[in-house]
Every structure is written in C-alpha cells, then in structure tokens.
Amino acid sequence: MIRPESASANAAGSSFPLASAPAGPLTVLGIETSCDETAAAVVRLAPDGGREILSDVIRSQTGEHEAFGGVVPEIAARAHIRILDGLVRAALKDAGVGFDDLDAVAATAGPGLIGGVIVGLTTAKAIALAAGKPLVAINHLEGHALTARLTDGLPFPYLLLLVSGGHTQFLLVEGVGRYRRLGSTIDDALGEAFDKTAKLLQLGFPGGPAVERAARSGDPSRFPLPRPMLDRPGIDFSFAGLKTALRTTAEANAPLSPTDVADLCASFQQAVTDVVGEKSRRALALFAESHPNAEPVLVIAGGVAANAAIRTRLEGEAAKAGARLVAPPGRLCTDNAAMIAWAGIERLAQAHAAGEVLDERDAPARPRWPLDAEAAAVIGSGRKGAKA
C-alpha cells in the first residue's frame, strides 16, 4: 500500500478539495497503455479525503525498443497484449481486492499510440462489462494534470507544465475537465528532442536519462547552441531548430570524443533549461495576473520532469515569483496507471456531485485528444483531430 505524502493529513480530517465527498470509499482500477509502459493500479479515496495507492504495477518495454532507438508502435501494442492481463491480476492481488470491491474501471482512451490505446481500453471495457462496473474513459493528459491532487491535495486552480516525449505545454488547471492551454510547442516535444539527441550521439534509449547522465561531466558553455523563441513574446516553445543546431555542431566536430559528447549534452541541456526557465517565469506572471487571489503553484509533470537540472531551475523561478513548485514523485511523473485511476475517481466524484451516473463503455480510442478542445491547433490537425 502506497500513501501519497499528504494522505495522512487528509485522513486526519482536513477537507479534500473535491466538489462533493463520496458517501463511501471510491476504489478504482486504472489501466494505462498509451505508449511503451504497460501499467495497472488500484487507487482509493476515503470519505474523509484520505487517498491511498493500493497498488501500482508498471512494466517498461525499454528492452523491446532499445535496438530501434525509439518506440515502435506495432511492437508496443503486441507487448501490451501479451502482459496486460497479468499486470491487472498483479495489481488486484497487491491491493488485496477483487472485481467486486471496485467501484469503477478507468482506462486511458487517448491520446497515444492508437494500437496500445485500443489494447488497454478494450481490456478495461471487458472487465467493466464482466464485473458490472462503470467504465471511465480518461484523457492521458488529464491523468498528468490531476496527479498533484493525488500526491499533494492541491486545490484548483494551478499552473501545469507538462513535459514529456509527446507533449510540451503550459496548462491552466481550473477544475476537473476545465483546462486552458496557455502555451505549447510549435513543433517537437521536449522529450522527443532529448530522445533524438541521444540517438544522434549514440547514447542509447531511453534518451532523456542518457543525455542527463552524459551532461553531468560536460561543459555547458563550450558549444553556443540557440535558445529558440526567447526573443519572442509569449510562452510557446520550439525545439526543432535546437536539434538541427546540435546535429550541425556534432557533424562539424566529428569524429566525436567522449568529452565532445559530454559537452554537447551539457550544452543542449543548458539551452533547454534556459528556455524552460524563462517560459515558466512568463507563465507564472500570467497566472498571477489571471488569478490574483489564488496561491501561485507551478506543477511539473511528464517524463522530462525527472530531469534534475530542469527541476532545479524551475524551483528557482518559482521562488523568485513567490510561487510553490510541486513535482510529484518520479514514478508518478512518467506514464503510470495510478494517475489514470485517480482521474477516474475525480470524474466519478464530479458526477456524484451533479447527481449523474458516469459510464463511458462506448468511448472510442483516440490517437489525438487535446485537453483544451477550444484552443486552436498549434501544430496542425487532420481527420484524427488536432495534434496539439
């Protein structure tokens, strides 16, 4: 049994910021298969606001994709099919519960690699149907957006920086289902930039941790890489030009020595940290203007949130702005099913408060699903919907 850091305080009687507390405990099985992690978890919310992660099982597919330097969608989907049933059984066993003890099943319905999303969502629908439980279809990004409420009990509103392999954006989180995008990448996600840097420099997969390790022994001032879009107003990002500059610099210094590689990684990471830091400063200022009476809180989530240099810079920017940085534990920043189960609990509680019954067994699997549906697409769109 895993208790979020602030769960004991809530269990002691402090009010939890839900629209309406449930009459009894809510216990939800979560399933996550949007990329290359297969995950299942059971999370419980008590009537007094206590939050417990009863189980949290994650199976990474790093070994299956390492030879390709990135995630292969077909391989990922087949791996999900092979191991998901066993992970669900393990999650229920670790939690000490059976299907009859669940109040609902929550599963990622998008966005993500569509083959993987279909595997998880179909499995969740089958469990919900067989057990006679409602199904809650969760936006993967909403799972990230609400994780800080599971770990830290944050009230709305707060500012979220979501940085992962597929997404880089600032979101104003005003309530369950109420998200306003303030800025986003106009091309590549930051996690993708880390992965491609690692692939270019032959550092292996996953790329983010490999680049961070190499950067520790490097000189961040040796190569003058650009800081994209710092000379423009606003808080949008761009990383395509930085990747190009890195490749050009690497080619100009080939063959690369281990010192060259370390210096390139350090210079790349420093450029990224400078951009993220400055954009976060601007985002915090926007948050203060739009919500002057709210506690200024910056939440960071997504796989890149594990990068120590970026976290340190964000802590400094938050302190200068009189704000608080909230970074969930690394395991809950990357893809996991506990965040999906928790998002299901949040939405069930919201439906309960409105006197509604929530069951989304007909929900489709979606490769694209922006949280802020009203915002104009930054990268573009097609028949599958907005990319970002």
* Domain segments of the chain as ranges: 7-153+332-386, 158-328
What per-residue confidence (pLDDT) applies to 49? 86
Q: Which residues contact 130 (CB under 8 A, 6 or more apart)?
A: 99
Taking a C-beta distance cutoff of 8 angstroms, is the pair 184, 378 a contact?
yes
What per-residue confidence (pLDDT) applies to 377? 59
Same fold: 7-153+332-386 with 158-328? yes
- For each successive 10 residues of the chain (388 residues), what is the average pLDDT? 47 43 84 94 92 95 76 88 96 97 97 95 97 97 95 96 89 95 94 93 90 97 95 93 96 97 98 97 96 96 90 96 93 93 96 90 93 66 49
Nearest-angstrom CA–CA distance, 104 and 66 = 35
The secondary structure of 93-136 as a DSSP string is HHHT--GGG-SEEEEEEESS-HHHHHHHHHHHHHHHHHHT--EE
Q: Is 2.40.160.20 the CATH number for 7-153+332-386?
A: no
What per-residue confidence (pLDDT) applies to 334? 87
DSSP classification of residue 363? P
pTM across the whole model: 0.89
DSSP classification of residue 154? P
- 158-328: CATH superfamily: ATPase, nucleotide binding domain (3.30.420.40)
What per-residue confidence (pLDDT) applies to 319? 97
Nearest-angstrom CA–CA distance, 75 and 385 = 24
What per-residue confidence (pLDDT) applies to 236? 96
